[in-house]
Amino acid sequence: MNYFQISIVLFVAVIHIYIMYLEMVLWTTKKGIKSFGLKNKKFAEETKVLAANQGLYNGFLAAGLIWSYFSNNSNFAIFFLVCVAIAGLYGAYSTKKNRILYIQTIPACIGIISFLIL
């Protein structure tokens, strides 16, 4: 992996560590409620177990990307970037929030493209 590829893989990993933190720790706080556009604190409390589970999956995506860095394995990096891109596409489609495309999908796609052309 070259410097740019390493940078984008680690950047996407950091994004997913932050998303994991938001979903697992901050879900019921003002920051979590605002970040995810939740109805209110009551709704956040009722859904915090689901959000924590979702956060755990984001943590696994980050772990896979970090693993691909330490193993210097481009195939692992591509696999996890594709997983992130698909998750971002589905998230944007299912929640009707296009910002997921900008936060998750586009950085992952930039990473995938970098592996295909560099």
- Per residue in 48-77, pLDDT (tens digit) is 999 999 999 999 999 999 999 999 999 999
- pLDDT of 96: 84
- pLDDT of 12: 98
Residue 31 domain boundaries: 3-117
Number of domains the chain contains: 1
Percent of the chain with pLDDT over 70: 100
- The Cβ of residue 15 has, within 10 Å, a number of other Cβ atoms equal to 20
Least confident range from 19-28, 56-65, 79-88, 92-101: namely: 92-101
Q: How confident is the model at residue 118 (pLDDT cuts 50, 70, 90)?
A: confident
User: How far is it, in rounded angstroms, from Cα 64 to Cα 101?
Assistant: 20
Predicted TM-score (pTM) of the model is: 0.94
Dihedral of alpha carbons 104, 13, 60, 67, sign: positive
User: How far is it, in rounded angstroms, from Cα 71 to Cα 91?
Assistant: 29
Write the CB contacts of 96 (distance below 8 Å, at least 6 apart in sequence). Answer: none
